[in-house]
Amino acid sequence: MIRGENISLKLGEKTILRDISLVVDPGEFVVLLGPNGAGKSTLLKVLALILKPTSGRVIHKYQGSDREEDIKRKIGFLSHRSFLYERLTAWENLEFYGKLYQVADLTRRAEEILEQVGLSYYCHDPVYTYSRGMVQRLSLARLLLHNPEMLFLDEPFTGLDQKGGEILTETIKVLHEQGKTMLMVTHYFDRGVDLAGRILVLNKGSKVFDGKLTSSDLRDIQEFYRAQVETE
């Protein structure tokens, strides 16, 4: 479970997040929508403990200890930046992150996850030789390597082709069925949004909508979304 209490974030004079409170329950799948510059990526970073809010707090609760280090081991974060080292091979990247996350039985786990994303054959090539889609697959491997419980996905479909998009949609579906908690930012209304039980809309740093959508709403979600953003 994750709870944000009155999160605000200021960078210099600029207020990027304004008094946002939210709770995401275990197993929930929440989609975060909003126009460019609304603060979606920033909110995700604050919730994933990458950025400290100026005021307010973020509380994560999982089974096991409450030490920050143990909490971070339960968090996965996928963005359109890969977090990968170009000069290292896929294998070395996973090995490095695996060590940081103290993944048990790392060699086996890395082999397994590379197999899963279909990169086994290329795993000893440096990442700079990879195509965009291969990098994205490796990011996915990095995301799943330590088997996180809480997943943050920031525009995960960006840069993927049709096939890559389908693989990702499938992966997201599986993760959802496994009972992972997910918070996803996306601009693609036709991908994943139908899986989400709940929608959050952010505009100019404030939360303007938070709630479940009925299936009839879902059909014209774009209209709905536009209405939310334009009433601001």
Ligand X SMILES: Nc1ncnc2c1ncn2[C@@H]1O[C@H](COP(=O)(O)OP(=O)(O)OP(=O)(O)O)[C@@H](O)[C@H]1O
Dihedrals phi, psi of 103, to nearest 5 degrees: -65, 130
N- to C-terminal Cα separation, the chain:
30
Q: Which residues in 92-111 contact another protein (CB under 8 A)?
A: 92, 96-97, 99-102
Alpha carbon 6 to its chain's center:
21
- Of 10, 7, 87, 67, the closest CA to residue 43 belongs to 7
Q: Does 73 participate in binding another protein (rule CB under 8 A)?
A: yes
Q: How far is the CB of 80 from ligand X (least distance, A)?
A: 9
Q: Does 39 participate in binding ligand X (rule CB under 6 A)?
A: yes
Q: Does 82 participate in binding Mg ion (rule CB under 5 A)?
A: no
Span near Mg ion by CB under 5 A; candidates 38-46, 85-93, 174-182, 189-197: 38-46
Q: Which residues in 4-23 contact ligand X (CB under 6 A)?
A: 11, 14, 16
Q: Which residues in 142-161 contact another protein (CB under 8 A)?
A: 142
Identity of the residue, 164 or 229, whose beta carbon is nearer to another protein in the bound complex: 164
Q: Does 156 participate in binding ligand X (rule CB under 6 A)?
A: no
Identity of the residue, 9 or 140, whose beta carbon is nearer to ligand X in the bound complex: 9
Q: How far is the CB of 41 from ligand X (least distance, A)?
A: 3
Q: What is the DSSP string of 162-217?
A: HHHHHHHHHHHHHHHHTT-EEEEE-S-TTSSTTT-SEEEEEETTEEEEEEE--HHH
Residues in contact with ligand X, counted by CB under 6 A, come to a total of: 11
Q: Which residues in 168-187 contact ligand X (CB under 6 A)?
A: none
Q: Does 197 participate in binding ligand X (rule CB under 6 A)?
A: no
> Which amino acid is it at 6?
N
Q: Does 40 participate in binding ligand X (rule CB under 6 A)?
A: yes
Write the CA distances from 75 to 18, 50, 168, 173, 204, integer angstroms.
24, 11, 18, 18, 26
CB 157 within 8 A of CB 165: yes
- The set of residues, in sequence order, having a beta carbon less than 8 Å from that of 162 and lying 6+ positions away, is none
Spatial distance between the Cα atoms of 84 and 137, rounded to a whole number of angstroms: 11
Contact positions vs Mg ion (CB under 5 A): 41
Contact positions vs another protein (CB under 8 A): 45, 48-51, 68-70, 72-73, 75, 77, 79, 81-88, 92, 96-97, 99-102, 126, 142
